[in-house]
Structure 1
Amino acid sequence: MELKVEYDDSLPDDLTILRTKSHHSYVDKVSQLFEDPFPSNMIITQEGSSFSPIELNQIHFFFTENKAVYANTESGKQKVQERLYEIESRLPSHFVRISRFEIVNLQWVKRFEYTFGGRIILHLKNDETLYTTRSYTKKIKNILFRK
Protein backbone atom coordinates (compact mmCIF):
# COMPACT_ATOMS: atom_id res chain seq x y z
CA MET A 1 0.00 0.00 0.00
CA GLU A 2 1.25 3.48 -0.82
CA LEU A 3 0.57 6.58 1.27
CA LYS A 4 0.31 10.04 -0.24
CA VAL A 5 -0.25 13.12 1.92
CA GLU A 6 -1.70 16.28 0.44
CA TYR A 7 -2.12 19.53 2.33
CA ASP A 8 -5.10 21.78 1.63
CA ASP A 9 -5.06 25.27 3.20
CA SER A 10 -8.75 25.72 2.40
CA LEU A 11 -9.81 23.06 4.94
CA PRO A 12 -10.84 24.14 8.44
CA ASP A 13 -8.16 23.64 11.10
CA ASP A 14 -10.14 20.93 12.86
CA LEU A 15 -10.81 18.79 9.75
CA THR A 16 -8.63 16.06 8.26
CA ILE A 17 -9.84 14.03 5.30
CA LEU A 18 -8.58 10.53 4.60
CA ARG A 19 -9.61 9.07 1.25
CA THR A 20 -9.20 5.46 0.23
CA LYS A 21 -10.64 3.22 -2.46
CA SER A 22 -11.64 0.51 0.00
CA HIS A 23 -11.52 -0.19 3.71
CA HIS A 24 -8.16 -1.19 5.21
CA SER A 25 -7.16 -1.91 8.78
CA TYR A 26 -4.82 1.08 8.46
CA VAL A 27 -7.84 3.37 8.29
CA ASP A 28 -9.05 2.05 11.65
CA LYS A 29 -5.63 2.71 13.17
CA VAL A 30 -5.55 6.28 11.86
CA SER A 31 -9.09 6.85 13.16
CA GLN A 32 -8.07 5.53 16.55
CA LEU A 33 -5.19 8.02 16.67
CA PHE A 34 -7.65 10.85 16.18
CA GLU A 35 -9.97 9.52 18.88
CA ASP A 36 -7.12 8.92 21.36
CA PRO A 37 -4.09 10.94 20.22
CA PHE A 38 -2.09 9.99 23.31
CA PRO A 39 -2.32 6.20 23.56
CA SER A 40 -1.33 4.88 26.93
CA ASN A 41 1.67 2.67 27.45
CA MET A 42 0.20 1.59 30.78
CA ILE A 43 -2.37 -0.93 31.91
CA ILE A 44 -4.15 -0.76 35.24
CA THR A 45 -4.08 -3.85 37.45
CA GLN A 46 -6.08 -4.52 40.59
CA GLU A 47 -5.20 -6.21 43.84
CA GLY A 48 -8.07 -6.16 46.31
CA SER A 49 -9.26 -2.57 46.51
CA SER A 50 -6.03 -1.01 45.22
CA PHE A 51 -5.13 -0.28 41.59
CA SER A 52 -1.65 0.00 40.09
CA PRO A 53 -0.36 1.08 36.68
CA ILE A 54 2.08 -1.22 34.89
CA GLU A 55 4.02 -0.31 31.77
CA LEU A 56 3.19 -2.52 28.80
CA ASN A 57 6.87 -3.37 28.22
CA GLN A 58 6.91 -5.13 31.62
CA ILE A 59 4.07 -7.46 30.66
CA HIS A 60 5.08 -10.86 29.27
CA PHE A 61 1.58 -11.91 28.30
CA PHE A 62 -2.11 -11.53 29.14
CA PHE A 63 -4.21 -14.58 29.89
CA THR A 64 -7.62 -15.60 31.18
CA GLU A 65 -8.14 -17.91 34.13
CA ASN A 66 -11.50 -18.70 35.74
CA LYS A 67 -13.20 -15.98 33.67
CA ALA A 68 -10.77 -13.30 34.91
CA VAL A 69 -8.01 -11.58 32.92
CA TYR A 70 -4.45 -11.35 34.22
CA ALA A 71 -1.20 -9.72 33.13
CA ASN A 72 1.88 -11.88 33.70
CA THR A 73 4.97 -9.90 34.76
CA GLU A 74 8.25 -10.54 36.58
CA SER A 75 6.37 -10.15 39.86
CA GLY A 76 3.72 -12.73 38.91
CA LYS A 77 0.15 -12.53 37.71
CA GLN A 78 -1.83 -9.37 38.28
CA LYS A 79 -5.56 -9.04 37.71
CA VAL A 80 -6.83 -6.69 35.00
CA GLN A 81 -10.41 -5.38 34.95
CA GLU A 82 -10.74 -5.25 31.15
CA ARG A 83 -11.73 -8.15 28.92
CA LEU A 84 -9.04 -9.72 26.73
CA TYR A 85 -10.58 -8.41 23.49
CA GLU A 86 -10.74 -4.88 24.97
CA ILE A 87 -7.06 -5.01 25.89
CA GLU A 88 -6.13 -6.45 22.50
CA SER A 89 -7.85 -3.60 20.65
CA ARG A 90 -5.50 -1.00 22.12
CA LEU A 91 -2.21 -2.88 22.35
CA PRO A 92 0.78 -2.10 20.11
CA SER A 93 1.57 -4.50 17.26
CA HIS A 94 4.22 -6.47 19.21
CA PHE A 95 1.39 -7.95 21.31
CA VAL A 96 -0.14 -10.89 19.44
CA ARG A 97 -3.01 -13.18 20.29
CA ILE A 98 -1.85 -16.79 20.29
CA SER A 99 -5.07 -18.42 21.50
CA ARG A 100 -8.56 -17.51 22.69
CA PHE A 101 -7.09 -17.14 26.15
CA GLU A 102 -3.64 -15.55 25.66
CA ILE A 103 -1.97 -12.49 24.13
CA VAL A 104 1.83 -12.52 24.17
CA ASN A 105 4.34 -9.66 24.10
CA LEU A 106 6.73 -10.71 21.29
CA GLN A 107 9.48 -8.62 22.88
CA TRP A 108 9.61 -11.23 25.67
CA VAL A 109 9.92 -14.23 23.33
CA LYS A 110 13.37 -15.82 23.32
CA ARG A 111 12.66 -18.36 20.55
CA PHE A 112 9.93 -20.11 18.58
CA GLU A 113 9.67 -23.82 17.94
CA TYR A 114 7.35 -25.73 15.60
CA THR A 115 5.58 -28.88 16.76
CA PHE A 116 4.49 -31.82 14.63
CA GLY A 117 0.88 -31.02 15.47
CA GLY A 118 0.95 -27.68 13.64
CA ARG A 119 1.41 -25.49 16.68
CA ILE A 120 4.19 -23.11 17.70
CA ILE A 121 5.89 -23.18 21.08
CA LEU A 122 6.96 -19.77 22.37
CA HIS A 123 9.86 -19.87 24.81
CA LEU A 124 9.91 -16.66 26.83
CA LYS A 125 12.97 -14.93 28.26
CA ASN A 126 11.76 -15.70 31.78
CA ASP A 127 11.80 -19.46 30.96
CA GLU A 128 8.01 -19.76 30.67
CA THR A 129 6.56 -21.65 27.71
CA LEU A 130 3.38 -20.80 25.80
CA TYR A 131 1.68 -22.63 22.95
CA THR A 132 -0.30 -21.29 20.04
CA THR A 133 -3.51 -22.98 19.07
CA ARG A 134 -3.62 -24.24 15.51
CA SER A 135 -6.15 -21.59 14.53
CA TYR A 136 -3.69 -18.82 15.51
CA THR A 137 -0.54 -20.46 14.11
CA LYS A 138 -1.03 -19.01 10.62
CA LYS A 139 -1.43 -15.51 12.05
CA ILE A 140 1.79 -15.88 14.04
CA LYS A 141 3.68 -17.14 10.97
CA ASN A 142 2.42 -14.15 8.97
CA ILE A 143 3.65 -11.77 11.64
CA LEU A 144 7.02 -13.48 12.03
CA PHE A 145 7.71 -13.70 8.32
CA ARG A 146 5.88 -10.44 7.42
CA LYS A 147 3.56 -11.99 4.87
Structure 2
Amino acid sequence: MKIKLDINPTITEDTISIKSAEMTDDIEKIIRCIEAVNTADILNGRKDETIYRISLKDVHRFFIEDKVMRMQTSENTFSIDKRLYEVEELTGVDFIKISKSEIVNIHFLDHLSMTPSGQIKIYMTNGEFTYSSRRYLKTIKERLSL
Protein backbone atom coordinates (compact mmCIF):
# COMPACT_ATOMS: atom_id res chain seq x y z
CA MET A 1 0.00 0.00 0.00
CA LYS A 2 1.40 3.38 -0.98
CA ILE A 3 0.70 6.62 0.85
CA LYS A 4 0.92 9.89 -1.02
CA LEU A 5 0.82 13.22 0.82
CA ASP A 6 0.58 16.56 -0.96
CA ILE A 7 1.12 19.63 1.24
CA ASN A 8 0.16 22.74 -0.69
CA PRO A 9 -0.63 26.12 0.90
CA THR A 10 -3.07 26.96 -1.91
CA ILE A 11 -5.43 24.11 -0.92
CA THR A 12 -8.49 25.51 0.87
CA GLU A 13 -10.05 22.27 2.11
CA ASP A 14 -8.38 19.07 3.31
CA THR A 15 -9.33 16.05 1.19
CA ILE A 16 -8.51 12.39 1.63
CA SER A 17 -8.72 10.12 -1.39
CA ILE A 18 -8.32 6.34 -1.38
CA LYS A 19 -7.80 4.48 -4.64
CA SER A 20 -8.17 0.72 -4.67
CA ALA A 21 -9.27 -2.10 -6.96
CA GLU A 22 -11.69 -3.34 -4.30
CA MET A 23 -12.92 -2.67 -0.77
CA THR A 24 -10.75 -4.60 1.69
CA ASP A 25 -10.74 -5.00 5.47
CA ASP A 26 -7.67 -2.77 5.67
CA ILE A 27 -9.39 0.01 3.75
CA GLU A 28 -12.45 -0.25 5.98
CA LYS A 29 -10.20 0.10 9.05
CA ILE A 30 -8.51 3.14 7.53
CA ILE A 31 -11.89 4.73 6.81
CA ARG A 32 -13.04 4.12 10.41
CA CYS A 33 -9.85 5.71 11.72
CA ILE A 34 -10.29 8.74 9.49
CA GLU A 35 -13.90 9.10 10.55
CA ALA A 36 -12.83 8.91 14.21
CA VAL A 37 -10.71 12.04 13.74
CA ASN A 38 -13.87 14.03 13.00
CA THR A 39 -15.82 12.92 16.07
CA ALA A 40 -16.72 15.09 19.04
CA ASP A 41 -14.44 14.67 22.04
CA ILE A 42 -16.73 16.13 24.72
CA LEU A 43 -20.40 15.50 25.50
CA ASN A 44 -22.67 17.25 27.99
CA GLY A 45 -24.05 14.94 30.66
CA ARG A 46 -26.76 15.84 33.13
CA LYS A 47 -26.95 14.58 36.71
CA ASP A 48 -29.79 16.10 38.72
CA GLU A 49 -29.74 19.78 37.73
CA THR A 50 -26.00 19.96 37.04
CA ILE A 51 -24.43 19.66 33.60
CA TYR A 52 -20.99 18.03 33.33
CA ARG A 53 -18.58 18.06 30.39
CA ILE A 54 -17.53 14.43 29.81
CA SER A 55 -14.70 13.32 27.55
CA LEU A 56 -15.62 10.43 25.23
CA LYS A 57 -12.48 8.55 26.28
CA ASP A 58 -13.92 8.32 29.82
CA VAL A 59 -17.30 6.89 28.73
CA HIS A 60 -17.76 3.15 29.30
CA ARG A 61 -21.10 2.85 27.54
CA PHE A 62 -24.22 4.57 26.26
CA PHE A 63 -27.57 2.92 26.87
CA ILE A 64 -31.28 3.61 26.94
CA GLU A 65 -33.00 3.21 30.29
CA ASP A 66 -36.64 4.14 30.87
CA LYS A 67 -36.70 5.86 27.45
CA VAL A 68 -33.81 8.13 28.47
CA MET A 69 -30.35 8.04 26.89
CA ARG A 70 -27.68 7.44 29.54
CA MET A 71 -23.91 7.79 29.47
CA GLN A 72 -21.88 5.79 32.01
CA THR A 73 -18.36 6.54 33.23
CA SER A 74 -16.39 4.73 35.92
CA GLU A 75 -17.86 7.01 38.60
CA ASN A 76 -21.29 8.17 37.44
CA THR A 77 -24.17 7.73 35.06
CA PHE A 78 -25.47 10.81 33.29
CA SER A 79 -28.46 11.49 31.07
CA ILE A 80 -27.75 13.08 27.71
CA ASP A 81 -29.94 14.91 25.21
CA LYS A 82 -29.13 12.82 22.15
CA ARG A 83 -30.62 9.84 20.39
CA LEU A 84 -28.71 6.58 20.02
CA TYR A 85 -28.07 7.07 16.29
CA GLU A 86 -26.60 10.54 17.02
CA VAL A 87 -24.29 9.07 19.65
CA GLU A 88 -23.29 6.30 17.24
CA GLU A 89 -22.26 8.91 14.66
CA LEU A 90 -20.17 10.78 17.24
CA THR A 91 -18.33 7.89 18.84
CA GLY A 92 -16.09 6.55 16.07
CA VAL A 93 -13.97 3.40 16.12
CA ASP A 94 -13.56 3.10 19.89
CA PHE A 95 -17.23 2.24 20.34
CA ILE A 96 -19.35 -0.63 19.09
CA LYS A 97 -23.13 -0.99 18.96
CA ILE A 98 -24.11 -4.21 20.73
CA SER A 99 -27.90 -3.91 20.63
CA LYS A 100 -30.57 -1.53 19.43
CA SER A 101 -30.31 0.29 22.75
CA GLU A 102 -26.62 0.16 23.72
CA ILE A 103 -23.15 1.19 22.56
CA VAL A 104 -20.00 0.22 24.49
CA ASN A 105 -16.43 1.51 24.54
CA ILE A 106 -14.17 -1.36 23.46
CA HIS A 107 -11.35 -0.04 25.67
CA PHE A 108 -13.41 -0.81 28.78
CA LEU A 109 -14.31 -4.39 27.82
CA ASP A 110 -12.86 -6.86 30.31
CA HIS A 111 -13.98 -10.18 28.90
CA LEU A 112 -16.82 -11.86 27.00
CA SER A 113 -18.72 -15.12 27.34
CA MET A 114 -21.32 -16.81 25.19
CA THR A 115 -24.73 -17.60 26.65
CA PRO A 116 -26.74 -20.72 25.75
CA SER A 117 -29.22 -18.48 23.91
CA GLY A 118 -26.52 -17.21 21.52
CA GLN A 119 -25.99 -13.81 23.10
CA ILE A 120 -22.65 -12.45 24.24
CA LYS A 121 -22.38 -11.51 27.89
CA ILE A 122 -20.05 -8.51 27.99
CA TYR A 123 -18.14 -7.80 31.19
CA MET A 124 -16.85 -4.26 31.66
CA THR A 125 -13.72 -3.24 33.56
CA ASN A 126 -15.84 -1.49 36.20
CA GLY A 127 -17.38 -4.85 37.20
CA GLU A 128 -20.71 -4.36 35.43
CA PHE A 129 -21.96 -6.53 32.61
CA THR A 130 -24.44 -6.29 29.77
CA TYR A 131 -25.70 -8.46 26.94
CA SER A 132 -25.46 -8.09 23.20
CA SER A 133 -28.34 -9.01 20.99
CA ARG A 134 -27.88 -11.88 18.52
CA ARG A 135 -28.57 -9.46 15.70
CA TYR A 136 -25.24 -7.70 16.38
CA LEU A 137 -23.21 -10.86 16.95
CA LYS A 138 -21.51 -10.81 13.53
CA THR A 139 -20.54 -7.14 13.83
CA ILE A 140 -19.15 -7.65 17.33
CA LYS A 141 -17.08 -10.64 16.23
CA GLU A 142 -15.68 -8.71 13.26
CA ARG A 143 -14.83 -5.60 15.25
CA LEU A 144 -13.18 -7.54 18.07
CA SER A 145 -11.51 -10.06 15.73
CA LEU A 146 -13.17 -13.06 17.41
Same structural fold, with TM-score higher than 0.5 when normalized by the shorter chain: yes
- Secondary structure at the residue paired with 1:90? helix
1:102-117 map, 5 Å: 102-117=102-117
- Secondary structure at the residue paired with 1:136? helix
Q: What is the CA distance between 1:7 and its match in structure 2?
A: 2.7
The number of residues matched between the two structures is: 140
Structure 2 residue aligned with 1:13: 11
- Secondary structure at the residue paired with 2:93? coil
2:56 is aligned with 1:62: no
Structure 1's unaligned 5+ residue stretches are none
Structure 2's unaligned 5+ residue stretches are none
Q: Which amino acid aligns with 1:13?
A: I
Distance 1:40-1:114 versus aligned 2 partners, 3 A rule: same
What is the aligned-residue identity percentage? 23
Equivalent pair of 2:60/2:73 in contact (CA under 8 Å): yes
Q: Scaled by the length of structure 2, what TM-score is found?
A: 0.77
Q: Supply the distance in 1 between the matched residues of 2:108 and 2:33 (Cα, whole angstroms).
A: 24
Structure 2 residue aligned with 1:120: 120
1:126-141 map, 5 Å: 126-141=126-141
Q: Which amino acid aligns with 1:64?
A: I
Structure with the bigger RCO (C-alpha within 8 Å, sep 6+) is 2
Q: Scaled by the length of structure 1, what TM-score is found?
A: 0.77
Distance 1:8-1:72 versus aligned 2 partners, 3 A rule: closer
Equivalent pair of 2:110/2:125 in contact (CA under 8 Å): yes
Deviates more, 1:11-20 or 1:130-139: 11-20
**C-alpha RMSD over aligned residues:** 2.8
1:86-105 map, 5 Å: 86-105=86-105
